[in-house]
Amino acid sequence: MNAPTPHTAAEVEGWVAKMRKEIAIEPPAPGEVRTPDEIANQLELVESVANKALWIVKEADKVRADAAEVLLRARSKAQVAAEGKNAAERAAAVDLATEQERAEEAAAQIAYRYAKGLADLVDSRKSSLQTQSKLVLATYQLASNPRRA
């Protein structure tokens, strides 16, 4: 049985961009109030994205850990290959030999932070929608209960 192919930082960033589009909510027009059904539908959408966001953060963390491990191994090999040189030459040789791995590790770190940002955005959006839901329900309740003089 083959091991699953590890994901890349670019894949993570693509997933995050897609999820951000999914939870983009247009504000109501001035003077317009969202209905409880609209709020409920938006909350369901955000809940769906929240589940995906958790998976994306988990995968981004794996990508980050894998990239860090690859960089560590590459540095070790480069340091062994740089024996016999002075410290500055060894450092330069290690940097040159690990350029690709360092770039991939940096990309993985960025992708992880991007995924964490998505998770934070989803939480914020969910909280905002829950607050809006309470306000809309209160507005409808006030409108449906005429005041008695």
pLDDT at 69 over 90: yes
pLDDT at 19 over 70: yes
pLDDT at 17 over 60: yes
Residue 98: per-residue pLDDT:
93
The number of distinct structural domains making up the chain is 1
Q: Does a structural domain hold residue 82?
A: no
Residue 2: per-residue pLDDT:
57
pLDDT at 46 over 70: yes
Residue 147: per-residue pLDDT:
67
Q: Does a structural domain hold residue 43?
A: yes
Q: Does a structural domain hold residue 108?
A: yes
Q: Does a structural domain hold residue 31?
A: no
More confident residue, 97 or 1: 97
- What is the span of the domain harbouring residue 61? 38-73+102-143
> pLDDT > 70: what percent of the chain?
95
Q: Does a structural domain hold residue 33?
A: no
pLDDT at 91 over 80: yes
Q: How many CB atoms lie within 10 A of CB 12?
A: 26
Residue in the block written with tokens 């829950």: 130
Residue 38: per-residue pLDDT:
84
Q: Does a structural domain hold residue 149?
A: no
Phi then psi for residue 34, to 5 deg, are: -70, 145
DSSP states along 91-110: HHHHHHHTHHHHHHHHHHHH
**Pair 25, 42: CB distance under 8 Å:** yes
**Pair 132, 32: CB distance under 8 Å:** no
Q: Does a structural domain hold residue 133?
A: yes
Q: Does a structural domain hold residue 134?
A: yes
Burial grade of 75 (CB within 10 A; 0-12, 13-18, 19 or more) = middle
